[in-house]
């Protein structure tokens, strides 16, 4: 990751005059700063991105006077905009909408983040009639994705939504994104205005202001950010840093140091055996017969931390295949990862992981799932694990697909998908220990495994996109390289696995020693 620049280059021409800020707005910015809503430093956001600023408008609930001023400013920003009802984007903007409703008398609606599973199963609470117009209230807009998550359910109920009012526009493309969906954004402040006021009032220095403005410019939604393609935060709401520590330090932690932070026992074991074997290589054993699979496992076993399987492509899989693999894995000290990519409802995946021809939970240490079906998929897999008598199955670890390596994949393209996946994992850390991703997407208490790795970058003509071990481990800060054809199609897979192990390990050592 690239640190935020220390200072912007000296402007060639005089900077355009800052927009005039009213005394009331200036006072509110200072009050928000005083309440701790705006912090400066180096923060790792949940998206993995480094930000020189951290905005937490949740703190306003502890400052009723500030909250009242926020509501006044929001109402002022939409003076003349007609609406029947208010609806805050959960959760930070809920008190903002409530305060506006109490002051101005407009009734409020509330959107549930999850539909009730019983009773009315409503997603929108409150009294309304089809055709009424709703003003959406938001605290902070980055990409506009959070606003649209509230606009969608309101429209589904037959309500009209044409306007959103936000306290702060981060100027990262949210306003345009909302406009393209027919929603006009009215923001009380832009982030540049906040920076101007704080600098003029002596709360921050010129360098801090320049670094924030440069961060905004380099992290426009939809644009490729300079920090190795890590996307701009997609969640429009108040930011959630993983930790206030500088990310640079985190990425330099060794696998052993990381093991202490991982909650799932298999995730910890993986990191420990990676360090012990000096291997961050997983081989994708995409061969098609049992004999080829066992032969490959035996050949590459000494070089790998993990063997990734697709049991359903083995033509002659039988009940002895899993135990035979497990015996080789034990002897060579690597983990078995069945890349089944579960993607169904909880009840179905429960059967898929423990039953059928492959009885995955009886021999695999690690499984993975798409987050598309929602948290139920994790519950279904957890239930299957809890009901088994096998000790091995009880320690099974789950990876979520936060991103994919294939060109045009929706996990990477859809705003908010990776972020939501991370949130699902955060809620189940005893079971979910990491992600399939193109690099580091969250904190150092998760493990990142990256497929699409070869000696030289390129593609396979069928959508697969390859990066080198140096790029994946060194630049994108992933932890494990997954190599398939690069190894098993080689004349000598054992020799090739050794070469990949050494390349992956060198990239890791360079990263943690900081000489890159
Ligand atoms: O996003 C993803 C997720 C999984 N894979 C799997 O990894 C290997 C890659 O094989 P190569 O021969 O090195 O291309 C394969 O088993 C995929 O199913 C992926 O490629 N991308």
Q: Is 484 annotated as a binding residue?
A: yes
pLDDT tens string 252-261 = 899 999 999 9
pLDDT of 399:
98
391: pLDDT strictly greater than 70? yes
243: pLDDT strictly greater than 70? no
Q: Peptide bond before 91: cis, by omega within 30 degrees of 0? A: yes
Which of the listed residues 451, 485, 487, 504 should we mutate to test ligand 1's pocket, taking the one with most ligand atoms within 8 A of CB? 451
232: pLDDT strictly greater than 70? no
pLDDT of 248:
37
Q: Is 405 annotated as a binding residue?
A: yes
CATH class of 23-218: alpha beta
pLDDT of 96:
97
pLDDT of 128:
96
Compute the distance from residue 293 Cα to the ligand 1 centre, in Å.
Answer: 16
Tell me the H-state helices in 312-398.
Answer: 321-332, 346-354, 376-387, 391-394
pLDDT of 415:
81
Is-catalytic flag, 139? no
Residue 436 CB–ligand 1 contact under 6 Å: yes
pLDDT of 395:
87
pLDDT of 514:
63
Which tokens hold the place of 94? 């809920």
Closest CA to 134 of 153, 159, 157: 159
Residue 305 CB–ligand 1 contact under 6 Å: no
pLDDT of 386:
87
- Cβ–Cβ under 8 Å, residues 367 and 396: yes
Residue 86 CB–ligand 1 contact under 6 Å: no
The domains of the chain are located at 23-218, 255-513
240: pLDDT strictly greater than 70? no
509: pLDDT strictly greater than 60? yes
Give the three-class secondary structure for 373: coil
Higher confidence at residue 470 or residue 42? 470
10: pLDDT strictly greater than 80? no
pLDDT of 223:
38
Confidence of residue 330 (pLDDT cuts 50, 70, 90): very high
Higher confidence at residue 38 or residue 15? 38
- Cβ–Cβ under 8 Å, residues 306 and 480: yes
pLDDT of 242:
40
Helix (H) or strand (E) holding 283: strand 281-285
Q: What is the average per-residue pLDDT within 292-298?
A: 98
Q: Is 485 annotated as a binding residue?
A: yes
Which tokens hold the place of 100? 């506006």
Angstrom CA distances, 6 to 209, 214, 510, stand at 10, 9, 24
Report the chain's mean pLDDT, rounded to a whole number: 88
Q: Is 146 annotated as a binding residue?
A: no
pLDDT of 120:
59
Q: What is the average per-residue pLDDT within 276-289?
A: 98
pLDDT of 121:
64
Residue 469 CB–ligand 1 contact under 6 Å: no
Give the three-class secondary structure for 407: coil
339, 444, 445, 479: the active-site residue = 339
Helix (H) or strand (E) holding 206: helix 206-218
101: pLDDT strictly greater than 70? yes
Which tokens hold the place of 454? 């070869």
Confidence of residue 71 (pLDDT cuts 50, 70, 90): very high
Residue with the nearest Cα to atom 1 of ligand 1?
A: 404
Q: Is 390 annotated as a binding residue?
A: no
Give the three-class secondary structure for 218: helix
DSSP line for 76-124 = HHTTT---SEEEEPTTTTHHHHHHHHHHH---EEEE-SS--SSTT--SE
pLDDT tens string 170-224 = 998 889 889 988 999 999 999 999 999 999 999 999 989 998 998 888 777 643 3
- Specify the ligand 1 atom closest to the Cα of 409: 1
Distance CA 71, CA 52 (A): 27
Tell me the H-state helices in 241-375.
Answer: 247-251, 255-259, 265-277, 290-300, 321-332, 346-354
Closest CA to 134 of 174, 82, 72, 186: 82
340: pLDDT strictly greater than 60? yes
Which tokens hold the place of 383? 């239930």
pLDDT of 385:
87
12: pLDDT strictly greater than 50? no
pLDDT tens string 364-388 = 999 999 999 999 999 999 998 888 7
Residue 69 CB–ligand 1 contact under 6 Å: no
> Would the CA dihedral through 237, 167, 191, 80 be positive or negative?
positive
11: pLDDT strictly greater than 50? no
ipTM: 0.98
42: pLDDT strictly greater than 60? yes
431: pLDDT strictly greater than 70? yes
47: pLDDT strictly greater than 70? no
8: pLDDT strictly greater than 90? no
Residue percentage of the chain with pLDDT more than 70: 87
Which of the listed residues 281, 283, 284 should we mutate to test ligand 1's pocket, taking the one with most ligand atoms within 8 A of CB? 284
Which superfamily, per CATH, for 255-513?
Aldolase class I (3.20.20.70)
pLDDT of 15:
43
Which tokens hold the place of 225? 């950010």
For the chain, the farthest-separated pair of C-alpha atoms sits apart, in whole angstroms, at 77
239: exposed, middle or buried (Cβ count in 10 Å: 0-12, 13-18, 19+): buried
Phi and psi at residue 34, in whole multiples of 5°?
-65, -30
pLDDT of 3:
30
516: pLDDT strictly greater than 60? no
pLDDT tens string 102-136 = 999 999 999 987 655 555 567 899 999 999 999 99
Residue 407 CB–ligand 1 contact under 6 Å: no
Residue percentage of the chain with pLDDT more than 90: 76
235: pLDDT strictly greater than 70? no
End-to-end C-alpha distance for the chain, whole angstroms: 11
Distance CA 393, CA 364 (A): 8
Half-sphere exposure of 352 (CA within 13 A, CB side): 21
236: pLDDT strictly greater than 50? no
């Amino acid at each position: 990751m690239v640190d935020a620049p220390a200072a912007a280059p000296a402007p060639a021409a005089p900077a355009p005059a800052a927009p005039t800020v009213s005394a009331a707005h200036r006072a509110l910015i200072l009050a928000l700063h005083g309440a701790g809503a705006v912090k400066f430093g180096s923060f790792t956001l949940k998206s993995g991105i480094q930000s020189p600023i951290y905005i937490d408008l949740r703190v306003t609930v502890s400052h009723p006077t500030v909250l009242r001023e926020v509501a006044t400013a929001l109402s002022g920003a939409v003076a003349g905009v007609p609406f029947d009802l208010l609806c805050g984007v959960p959760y930070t903007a809920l008190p903002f909408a409530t305060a506006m409703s109490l002051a101005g008398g407009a009734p409020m609606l509330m959107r549930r983040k999850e539909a009730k599973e019983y009773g009315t199963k409503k997603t929108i609470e409150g009294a309304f009639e089809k055709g009424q117009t709703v003003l959406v209230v938001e605290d902070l807009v980055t990409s506009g994705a959070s606003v649209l998550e509230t606009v969608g359910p309101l429209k589904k109920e037959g309500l009209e939504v044409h306007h959103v009012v936000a306290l702060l526009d981060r100027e990262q493309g949210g306003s345009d994104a909302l406009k393209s969906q027919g929603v006009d954004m009215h923001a009380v402040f832009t982030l540049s205005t906040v920076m101007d006021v704080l600098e003029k009032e002596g709360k921050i220095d010129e360098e801090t202001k320049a670094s924030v403005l440069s961060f905004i410019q380099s992290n426009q939604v939809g644009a490729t950010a300079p920090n190795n393609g890590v996307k701009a935060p997609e969640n429009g709401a108040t930011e959630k840093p993983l930790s206030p520590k500088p990310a640079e330090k985190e990425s330099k932690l060794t696998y052993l140091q990381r093991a202490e932070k991982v909650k799932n026992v298999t995730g910890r074991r993986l990191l420990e055996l990676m360090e012990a074997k000096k291997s961050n290589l997983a081989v994708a054993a995409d061969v098609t017969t049992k004999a080829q699979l066992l032969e490959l496992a035996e050949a590459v076993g000494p070089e790998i931390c993990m063997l990734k399987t697709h049991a359903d492509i083995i033509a002659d899989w039988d009940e002895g295949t899993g135990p035979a693999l497990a015996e080789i894995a034990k002897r060579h000290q690597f983990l078995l990862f069945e890349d089944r990519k579960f993607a169904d409802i909880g009840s179905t995946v429960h059967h898929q992981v423990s039953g059928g021809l492959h009885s995955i939970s009886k021999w695999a240490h690690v499984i993975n799932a798409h987050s598309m079906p929602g948290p139920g998929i994790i519950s279904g897999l957890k239930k299957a694990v809890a009901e088994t008598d096998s000790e091995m199955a009880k320690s099974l670890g789950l990876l979520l697909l936060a991103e994919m390596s294939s060109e045009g994949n929706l996990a990477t393209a859809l705003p908010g998908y990776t972020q939501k996946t991370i949130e699902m994992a955060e809620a189940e850390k005893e079971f979910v220990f990491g992600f399939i991703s193109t690099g580091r997407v969250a904190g150092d208490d998760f493990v990142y495994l990256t497929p699409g790795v070869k000696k030289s970058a390129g593609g396979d003509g069928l959508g697969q996109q390859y990066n080198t071990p140096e790029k994946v481990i060194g630049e994108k800060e992933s932890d494990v390289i997954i190599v398939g054809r690069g190894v098993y199609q080689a004349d000598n897979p054992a020799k090739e696995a050794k070469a990949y192990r050494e390349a992956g390990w060198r990239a890791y050592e360079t990263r943690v020693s900081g000489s890159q």
